[in-house]
């Protein structure tokens, strides 16, 4: 039975989930996997317990040496500078406050990758 949790940030529903943590160190992207975290369904904030935070700190003590990695990933890199600068008027929705409404569609992107 899954225990219900409340997100400390937004008050939304949160649940325990296995996640990956991505960290930039200069020009290197570091991925830490097999992390059990409390993840909010609404704001997607992630929370780690003290043992998990300790383990993450220990992994980084030597500067995340490539030789100590479980495996190495090849990561494609994209730039928004490669997209045409013209924007269709219907491409940007505005909220009641007049500010742009940004709605990332991560699930669609994950399906394509």
> What would the pLDDT profile of 43-71 be if each residue is shown by its tens digit?
999 999 999 999 999 999 999 999 999 99
Return the residue matching tokens 């998990």. Answer: 52
The Cα 36–Cα 39 span in angstroms is 9
User: How many Cβ atoms from other residues are within 10 Å of residue 14's Cβ?
Assistant: 24
Q: Which domains does the chain have, with CATH numbers?
A: 5-100 (3.10.20.860)
**pLDDT tens sequence across 36-48:** 999 999 999 999 9
């Amino acid at each position: 039975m899954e225990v219900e949790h409340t997100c400390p940030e937004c008050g939304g529903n949160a649940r325990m989930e296995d996640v990956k943590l991505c960290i930039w160190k200069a020009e290197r992207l570091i991925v830490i996997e097999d992390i059990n975290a409390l993840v909010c369904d609404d704001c997607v904030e992630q929370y780690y317990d003290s043992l998990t935070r300790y383990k993450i700190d220990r992994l980084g003590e030597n500067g995340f040496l490539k030789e100590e990695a479980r495996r190495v990933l090849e990561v494609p890199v994209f730039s928004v500078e490669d997209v045409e600068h013209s924007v269709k008027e219907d491409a940007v929705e505005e909220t009641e406050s007049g500010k742009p409404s940004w709605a990332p569609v991560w699930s669609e992107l994950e399906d394509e990758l």
